[in-house]
Structure 1
Amino acid sequence: MPEPIPLSDTTSREKIKIILTLGIPAMIENFLQTIVGFVDTLFVAKLGLNEVAAVGVSNTIIAIYIAIFMALSVGTSSLIAKSVGAGDLHKAKAIAKQSTILAAAVGLLFGLISLVLAEPLLRLMGAEPKVLADGVVYFRIVAVPSILISLMTIFGSILRAAGDTKTPMKVGIWINLIHVALDYVLIFGLFGVGGWGIAGAAYATVIVRLIGAAALYLYIYKSKLSFSFKTKVAGEYTLPLLRLSGPAAAERLIMRLGQVLYFGLIIRLGTDVYAAHTIAGNIEIFSYMPGFGLAVAATTLVGQQLGAGRKHDAYRYGLFSAAVAVVFMSFVGVLLFIFSPLAASWFTSQTDVIRMVTTALRIDAFAQPFLALGLVITGALQGAGDTKSPMYSTAIGMWLIRVVGVYVLSIQLGMGIAGIWLSIAFDLVIRAVFLLWRFWHMFQFMDKSNRR
């Protein structure tokens, strides 16, 4: 486990090197997860469209679970990073233990809900009768052991908050490779032994999550943050964890509900427009990788430096992380602008859909620097303990800008897919400006408090 990073005497070049050392492994981990998701879908697609739909509707619900687990990890990351920065390993261990117990409890609760309400939940998501039977099989196998998802999420956050982003990356590489191999064997069979179809895909997912959770805990157990379940639970950290994680959970739920609403508006524009929007979104997801990775670095570095009492360094690391992300994602924007027609042609041969996807991605290309700022400054704010500002920005951006923008520009003014992605771009710009102002204002307030 790395020691707290001494940043007070580092040059700008050294700061950037430290940011990249933490951020690049997280980028690689996210990239691999996205690639494996595509491979998983490809294998299931060989079974038939009903199976694809069953996995898709099940994963829509599981994505909500994961959003809650990730929200819990926000509080963990902030509190552990500050404790490690302050050199208080005893407190960091206590928070890690309390976070694990809390995550396990929430995972068990969601597992129980999945067991009892699998069919009603899938019906609520609009699963058709032909899809429902396969959906229930897949969903129950994957979602009942939700504790594995929650533990993997929280263990990864504990390691990253202490400055170790390489271990989650290494574990991610191995379990993703195992996942691809297990997927093929358990879905299709091997050496004359038949596979289990969609149930095989579900079992492959559960097995790699079990391996991942065990491997990450083993690394924690061997580190300086090792904790024992035999000792008394440090319950005094439950409320601080929930206080930080609550707004983060609300932010993710606001985002999901807003997506459901504006996806409904997009469907009204026609199947071709909805298909083009979906394809553009699948391509655009790869542009998020630098931002996600550098947001992890920002959370860790800002939290550790505030814990060590180095507020100026915390502020500079937040800005440096954002600047590096802007450079990375501006380059991605150039690639999106140039190669969007080629990327669209991988998904469809319909000329009108390729044209719409190209329009969407070329608008998005200009929004990439603002997307970078929003992602990384959100991570920096969360590292500093401010989880409310990202929640406010998501609520305003999703409900007042995206939803209203799609309705006005795309439906009322007839701008089609251009209106959709202009609305998204406006949201990203306004959100980035607001979050950057909040980050600046937070540290201005800290300075004024110190002078009193």
Structure 2
Amino acid sequence: MIDTTYSRKEIRKEIFALILPIIMENVFQVSASLVTVAMIGRLSPLDISAQGIVMRITETLNSLFRGVAIGSTVYIAKAYGAKSMDQCFKVFKQTLISAVPMAILFGSVLFALPTQFLRILTDSSELLTVGAGYMRLTVMGLPFVAIMALVTSAFQGHSNTKTPMMIAMLVNISNIVLGYILIFGVGGIGGFGIYGAAAALTMAQAIGAITGLVLLFKGPYKVFSAEQLKEKIFHYDWKCIKDVYSTGIPAAIENFFWQFSAIIMSRAILTYGEVSFSAYQIGLQAESISGMATFGFGVAATTLSAKAIGMRDANLFRSYFKEDVWLCTVISIFTSLSLILMPGIFMSMMTNNADIQKIGIVYVFIMGFIQIPQNLSGILSKTLLASGYKNTPMIVSFVGIWLIRIPLALLVTYVLKWDVFFIWLCIALDQIARFIINICIMKRKKVLQTAVR
């Protein structure tokens, strides 16, 4: 085991080299989402709600691929830290040839049976009709979502976050331009409304996936060589796949907990009416504005922790963690204050509906108070995951979501019949509980002292 001393300046420089492109990537992603939400927000509450319920379904599947990508990132970063370049490619290839067929299968099922899945969320015939059409278009992009997630994992595992940023720029610019044209129409040609938004998203995802695959093997930032493509592509190494998925599946299940809870929460919020649900959807987007500045710290925790473990450097592992936490805390203070002090500004950016703004402002205000514990909890869980505690983040999420958030929200909605405001409080309580639990686990397991052996 290596035990080298590192200066804080060196560590901070390396962290910023990773997170700044991620922050910029999030800026573009959130900007595109805000523009899309703003465009759809000019349509009807029915269209906004249709997009929201479909997103709950598709994001459940997207979370699977993001989870698998986390497993891929961990093993690629460990191989990169150990300077085993062939192993890096092997991990990427095995994950890709196993994940994309799954995406095609799941997408086909949703395309064939959209109404059956959407009935989980709503019984409204109008909402089901609009939502089914929207879903059929969006699920065509699932294979591209899987590819983009794994391309990003390959670059991030090599400590390269600039290229994913450039791909995100391309995807989001494409989505904005195509979205405007297909939603509203141009040059005397009528738009397709909510269906145009779905088509634009799928087309942009295809552009991103193809571009990402090309950049992995060509250009100044390539991480693999063209020679490696000559190897037999569809040769499955089940041990490698098992290793990646044993880390990725718990991460995916953790994401599933969030997505399934979002489905239940969406159904509960829909009982308050489409205006309340629209406010919730737009409030989530407003909250994501502040989150884009801190999301990178979770990625840095995964990549740098795994890299330090691969290098067998205990001091580097601890230095990465401590600096990551410190920088995230400082930035979270500012993002928290922005949500608390300016909720109305955030909501007015995305909708001109006064009723939606009124409800959404309360949501954004409450979420402002949990930014610090929520963001730090992300670092703690990713550090635990990279350290080999594969199931721990999943278990913590289960406790927070299924023992706190969901039971309390259902109690508030269906038994006590309180105002929707109390559902926002249930969400906040869940995040605070998870933060406290993660701290206790880190201390009890002595992760900072035992992760690198």
Q: 1:211 aligns with which of 207, 211, 232?
A: 207
What corresponds to 1:225 in structure 2? 224
Q: 1:254 aligns with which of 254, 257, 278?
A: 257
Give matches, 1:364-403, under 5 Å. 364-403=367-406
Q: 1:305 aligns with which of 304, 308, 312?
A: 308
What corresponds to 2:428 in structure 1? 425
Shift of 1:412: 7.4
For 1:250 and 1:90, the matched residues in 2 are separated by 29
Q: 1:73 aligns with which of 61, 69, 74?
A: 69
What corresponds to 2:294 in structure 1? 291
Give matches, 1:20-169, under 5 Å. 20-46=16-42, 48-126=44-122, 128-169=124-165
For 1:132 and 1:22, the matched residues in 2 are separated by 42
SS of aligned partner of 2:181: helix
SS of aligned partner of 2:135: helix
- Do 1:266 and 1:406's aligned partners in 2 also have CA atoms closer than 8 Å? no
What corresponds to 1:318 in structure 2? 321
SS of aligned partner of 2:369: helix
SS of aligned partner of 1:257: helix
What corresponds to 1:187 in structure 2? 183
Q: 1:426 to 1:191 in 2, by over 3 A?
A: closer
- Do 1:299 and 1:382's aligned partners in 2 also have CA atoms closer than 8 Å? yes
Q: 1:327 to 1:159 in 2, by over 3 A?
A: same
- TM-score (norm: length of structure 1): 0.87
Q: 1:110 to 1:305 in 2, by over 3 A?
A: same
Q: 1:42 to 1:266 in 2, by over 3 A?
A: closer
Shift of 1:125: 3.2
Paired amino acid for 2:442: F
Shift of 1:79: 0.6
For 2:412 and 2:49, the matched residues in 1 are separated by 30
Work out the percentage of aligned pairs sharing the same amino acid: 24
Give matches, 1:408-423, under 5 Å. 416=419, 419-423=422-426
- Do 2:122 and 2:267's aligned partners in 1 also have CA atoms closer than 8 Å? no
Q: Which runs of 5+ in 1 are unaligned?
A: 1-5
Q: 1:358 to 1:122 in 2, by over 3 A?
A: closer
For 2:50 and 2:247, the matched residues in 1 are separated by 34
For 1:414 and 1:200, the matched residues in 2 are separated by 37
Paired amino acid for 2:343: S
Paired amino acid for 2:229: S
For 2:310 and 2:56, the matched residues in 1 are separated by 37
What corresponds to 1:10 in structure 2? 6
What corresponds to 1:3 in structure 2? none
Shift of 1:391: 0.8
Q: 1:122 to 1:419 in 2, by over 3 A?
A: closer
- TM-score (norm: length of structure 2): 0.87
- Do 2:373 and 2:432's aligned partners in 1 also have CA atoms closer than 8 Å? yes
Superposed CA offset, 1:332-351 (max 9, x none)? 11222222244455546759
- Do 2:250 and 2:390's aligned partners in 1 also have CA atoms closer than 8 Å? yes
Shift of 1:84: 0.4
- Do 1:277 and 1:417's aligned partners in 2 also have CA atoms closer than 8 Å? no
- Do 2:45 and 2:274's aligned partners in 1 also have CA atoms closer than 8 Å? no
For 2:354 and 2:42, the matched residues in 1 are separated by 22
Shift of 1:151: 0.6
For 1:352 and 1:35, the matched residues in 2 are separated by 20
- Do 1:123 and 1:132's aligned partners in 2 also have CA atoms closer than 8 Å? yes
Moved more, 318-327 or 405-414: 405-414
SS of aligned partner of 1:228: helix
Q: Which runs of 5+ in 2 are unaligned?
A: none
- Do 2:49 and 2:277's aligned partners in 1 also have CA atoms closer than 8 Å? no
For 1:270 and 1:117, the matched residues in 2 are separated by 26
Q: 1:127 to 1:23 in 2, by over 3 A?
A: farther
For 2:441 and 2:237, the matched residues in 1 are separated by 32
Moved more, 313-322 or 189-198: 189-198
What corresponds to 1:327 in structure 2? 330
Shift of 1:102: 1.4
Shift of 1:283: 2.2
- Do 1:71 and 1:249's aligned partners in 2 also have CA atoms closer than 8 Å? yes
Superposed CA offset, 1:400-445 (max 9, x none)? 2223444667887887455434433332222112223333444558
Moved more, 373-382 or 132-141: 132-141
Aligned length: 444
